[in-house]
Amino acid sequence: MPLNIDLQQILLHWMNLAILVGGLYFILFKPVKAFMEKREAYYQDRDRQAEEKLADAERIRAEYQARLDAAAEEIRQSRAKAQQAAQQSAEEQLSQARAQAQQMLVHARTEAEHDREQILRSSQRELRRLAAAATRKLAMEQDPFDQFLDLAEEGAQHEER
C-alpha cells in the first residue's frame, strides 16, 4: 500500500474510537447529563419557591400597607370627629356665654333703670324739701331790700374799722 497506510489498522482505530465514545457516553456523559438536569431542576424549583415567597411577602406587605392606610384613615376621621366635637363644644360654650352676657346686660339695664328711678324719686323729694325750706325761709325772713340795706351797713362798718 502506498504511503504505508493499512486499512485494517484504520478500521481498528475507528472501532476503538467508537467503543471509547460509546463507553464514555454511557459511563460519563449520561450520568453527568442526568446530574446536570437534576441540578438545574433543583435550582429552578428553588427559584420558583423564592418567587412564591417573594410574591407572598409582597402580598403580605400590600395587606399590611392597606391596614396601615385604613388605620391612618380611621385616625384622620377620629381626629376630624374630635376636632368637630371640640369646635361644637366651643360654639356651645360661646353661645352660652353670649346668652349669659345678654342676661347680665338685661339685668344690669333693669337695675340701672331701677336705680335711676330711685335717684329721680330721691332727687324730687330733695327738691321738694329744699323748695319747702326755701319757701319757709323766705316767708319768715324779712324783705330782701331790707336785707340788702343791712348788708350794706355791715359792709360800711367793716370798711371803717
* Residue 142 φ/ψ, nearest 5 degrees: -80, 180
pLDDT digits 0-9 by tens, 113-141: 999 999 999 888 888 888 887 777 766 66
Residue with cell 336785707: 147
Calculate the average pLDDT of the chain: 88
Residue with cell 330782701: 144
- Asked if 141 contacts 147 with a C-beta cutoff of 8 angstroms, the reply is yes
Helices (H) and strands (E) in the chain, counts: 3, 0
**C-alpha–C-alpha distance, residues 10 and 8, integer Å:** 5
Q: Which residue has the higher pLDDT, 38 or 156?
A: 38
**C-alpha–C-alpha distance, residues 10 and 78, integer Å:** 96
- Asked if 40 contacts 47 with a C-beta cutoff of 8 angstroms, the reply is no
pLDDT digits 0-9 by tens, 52-101: 999 999 999 999 999 999 999 999 999 999 999 999 999 999 999 999 99
